[in-house]
Structure 1
Amino acid sequence: MQNMGGIFGILGVGCGLYIFYALYKLKSTGDITSSILLPKDVNPKTCKDKDGYIKAVAPKMAILGISTIIYGLMDLCETFVMSTGNFFWIVLVLVFVVLIWFSVTVSKLNKTYF
């Protein structure tokens, strides 16, 4: 695992920060980031209730962002600082569970609001 030199940790932190940037844009300007939230064929301007969609999806984005940043930091710690043992694998499984949960719930929200 150390041959990759922490690339997955950097990607995890970067993805988490991008999710928080998209969340900031969503809450501040109402701009729905289609790369995270919507399928390719859905136009963000066709949302039936933008405020309701933002209120429903924002906490889910925050949870996904936090979990990916935690994973990234754990991977960097595992690679460069010290072994975290089984805790790293628990965090890795948790990130996958959160990612699946996020995908399923956002898909349901998209069907409701678009």
Structure 2
Amino acid sequence: MDESVFGFVSIMAFGCGIYGLYAYIRMKMDGHINETLLLGKKYSEHMCKNKEEFVKKALPAVLVFGIVTTAYGVIDMIHCYVKPIQAVDSAGLVIFLGMLVWYMVYTTKLKNKYF
């Protein structure tokens, strides 16, 4: 596969991570649910049975998502654009994918409980 595709993926991961960190800060400050990261199209914030508790339980997951995704994006950009670091990049990918699965399972359970 072309190297530019991998570089694009690293930039997308970095951007998603930054958005996750932004969403965490916004949720912490204003208490509103970030529908993009946590709910999807079928749900809206006003449908939540206990918004405060949902936000309290979702905040750590959003923070972990933001940190891990940003870190993986940086590692992958270094690997693609600066210096190949295959072992670190591969380990980062495994951690990133594991976190992504955990995040999806955890937030789905939250949705099922509070919506």
Partner of 1:70: 71
Q: Under a length normalisation based on structure 2, what TM-score does the superposition of the two structures give?
A: 0.91
Q: Structure 1 unaligned runs (5+)?
A: none
Partner of 2:47: 46
Matches of 2:59 and 2:39 in 1, distance apart?
A: 14
The answer to whether the 8 Å contact 2:45/2:51 transfers is: no
Matched, 1:105 2:106: yes
Q: Under a length normalisation based on structure 1, what TM-score does the superposition of the two structures give?
A: 0.91
CA pair 10-38 structure 1, distance change in 2 beyond 3 A: same
Q: Percent identity?
A: 31
Shift of residue 3, structure 1, vs aligned partner? 3.2
Matches of 1:107 and 1:4 in 2, distance apart?
A: 30
Matches of 1:14 and 1:32 in 2, distance apart?
A: 20
Q: Structure 2 unaligned runs (5+)?
A: none
The answer to whether the 8 Å contact 2:14/2:69 transfers is: yes
> After alignment, is 69-78 or 40-49 more displaced?
40-49
